[in-house]
Every structure is written in C-alpha cells, then in structure tokens.
Amino acid sequence: MADGFVSGISDADERAIIEAIDKWIVKKVAPVAMKLEHDDIWPSDLVDDMTELGLFGALISPEFGGLGLSATTYSRIVTRISEEWMSLTGIFNSHLMMATVVQKFGTQNQKEYWLPKFADGSMRGGLGLTEPDAGTDLQGIRTVAKRVGDKYVVNGTKTWISNAIQGHVVALLVKTDPEANPRHKGMSMLITPKIDPETRAPLKGVANGKKLEKLGYKGIDSGEFIFDDYECSAELSLVGGEEGKGFVMATGGLEIGRINIAARSVGIARRALNESVKYSQMRKTMGKPICEHQAIQLKLGEMAAKTRAAELLVEDAARLFDTGARIDMEAGMAKYFASETALEVATEAMRIHGGYGYSKEYPIERLYRDAPLMCIGEGTNEMQRIIIAKQLIARNKV
C-alpha cells in the first residue's frame, strides 16, 4: 500500500462493502439522482447514507477509524457510483484528498486528532488549492499565512473548492514565505476548520463566498473560501509540523484525486455505452434496429474499446498506488485517457440517441454535461500530457 495506507480488511469484506454500495445505489440513489441533479440540490440524505457506509473513511487506516480500502477497491466503488450519479463521488473524494494529506504527511498528534473526525464524517471537507488567479500553476497562489506565536494568521481567497459550503474544514495550501525562491519552497499546508471541532461553533475570520453555478456536476457545492485574519493552531494545523513542504503535499493528494477522476470518467463512459447499446436495439429506422446499421456499429465498437482501455489504465494506476510506488505518470495517463474517453463516449451516446439524448428525461444529457469537467479537474489534460512526457524521459534516460 502507499505510504500511510494500510489495508485493514479482507478481500471478502471488501466485496461485501461493494455489494452493500451496489444495493444502496439501486435502492436509494437511482430513484432520486435525476431530480436532485437537475434541481442542483445538496443530497443530504445520501450524504448521511455515505457516512453510514463509511465512505468518508474509505482510504483512512482502521487505526484511525477508517475502512482502509485499497485504491483498487476504492476506484471500483467510485466507478460504480459514477455510473448512477457522478456528483456523489466528488463529495467524499475531495474529503479523502484532504485526509490523504494528513495521513501521509501529518504528525502523529495531527493524525490522532484529525483522522478519526474525518473517518466518521463529523468533520467533512476538501482540498483548498485553487485561487482566482492560480489553478494549474499552484506556485502562483497568493493566500498567505504568517506565524504569530503558536498560531498562524491566514489571509486570502480560495475558489472552486468542493464541499466549501456544506463542509466543515479544508486542507489549505498557503504561502508561509512569499519571498522564497524557488516559489514552492515557501508553500505550506494548513488544516483550517471553519467550525470548532469540539463545540461545532463557527470560527471567526473564515467565510464562504458565493456558490458557483456549473454546467454539470450539480448537487455538490463548489464555492469560495475567504480568509480574513483567520487564526489556527500551529501545532494542529501545520501539516507535518514543518513549513515549506506544502507543494509536495498538494501534489501527493492529487495522485489519489487523479485516480478518482479517471474512475469517475470510466463510470460516465460505461453508463453512456450501456445506454447506447440498449437504445440501439430498441430504436428502429428503415425497418430494423439501428444497431444493425453499420454507422452505429462503428460508433459502438470504438466506444466499447476505449471504455475498456480506460478501465485498464485506472486499474493499473490504482494497483501501482497500492504498492507505494511513484505514480504521477500512471495517474496522469489514466486521468487523461479516461476523461477524454468519457467526453467522446458521452458525445457519441447523444448522437446515437438523437433528440432523446438531448432530453432531460434520459440520463445522456447529464453524462454529456458532466464529462467535460473530467478533462479539467485535478489538473488539465494538457498538463497531464506534459507530466507523462517528462516522466517518460526521466525513466528512460539514454
């Protein structure tokens, strides 16, 4: 397993978890997903269910109250849920990226304090990286944290943060030394709650900005964090207890995030493919089902091959993550190819469905709206190709 991840359950237990999640999807998610997504409603009942299922502790070690699942099992769960409603996976994945940072890099005291609260869902949150003027270029962030005695005072704004409004805490990438050169040497990671973990009272100096309206990926809240002389404990908040390590922590958290995005993409592609196969056998033109027309067969054949290839790339990256190896190239490959596949397959599914694919009565239009985000989230696909190329060269020096 990757550093900080220890599988605490048997293969049989993992299969039981997946079966329980599958039953939940059929019974609880499928009947409401369409309405909640179209109305952009926070799925509070389903979040409660995910808490009971242990999904907020999926990758957290059993030592701290989590399930300790492998990345391989986790990615399969993400794919299955994404087939029904992709937005749900973003709620616990963003949270687990935050937990990953603490589990891999935190002090023992920080692990013992934060991880049980993350695992039981009592303190849900996400990863606070993006700013109005800094996305893929994380070194361009402007949020600053100054050490004052045993506290940090934080000022700045984060945007496009998942769980910003409904969540309680964020792993915040900040500049503790704005003059550092190279820039990444001046970056640190802080755990910054917006409510007191013990009393649940709101904390001063942190507020949410507007909820961001989106093309797809609805139901989950994407919003802003505004820090204005916000104070937090240096001992509990500075991950690892040492300044200047935040950039490495952020990219470490993004590894599991990219596997998640790739797994979500597979779910989108798989659902679009399955719906297309089913519809093509029901819809008739010129006296026969459209699946018997060569033009449709060509589409279905390519959709199926690329969806399966994406599945295998995700499995490859997740399996390697579980060994503790460096996986920036493999995660980048999975994220890049699977997300582009999701977009292509969703688009072809809409064409196969014709007017029905454009209707809100069918899931295709939702898949079509959700897919583009996969090409952007957790690092653009342009950046993924650069990462792949650089690692390819680094691993094959002549």
Annotated catalytic residues are: 378
Q: For residue 151, give the nearest of 203, 190, 103 by alpha carbon.
A: 190
Contact 125, 114 (CB under 8 A): no
> Cβ of 347: how many Cβ atoms within 10 Å?
18
CA gap 13, 10 in Å, rounded: 5
8 Å CB contact between 206 and 225: yes
Evaluate whether 310 touches 346 at the Cβ level (below 8 Å).
no
Length of the chain: 398
State how far the Cα of 62 lies from the Cα of 378, in Å rounded to an integer: 27
Alpha carbon distance 345, 266 (integer Å): 10
Kindly give the residue spans of alpha helices, DSSP state H, lying in the chain: 11-24, 33-39, 44-53, 71-85, 87-105, 108-119, 234-237, 246-282, 294-323, 328-353, 364-374, 381-394
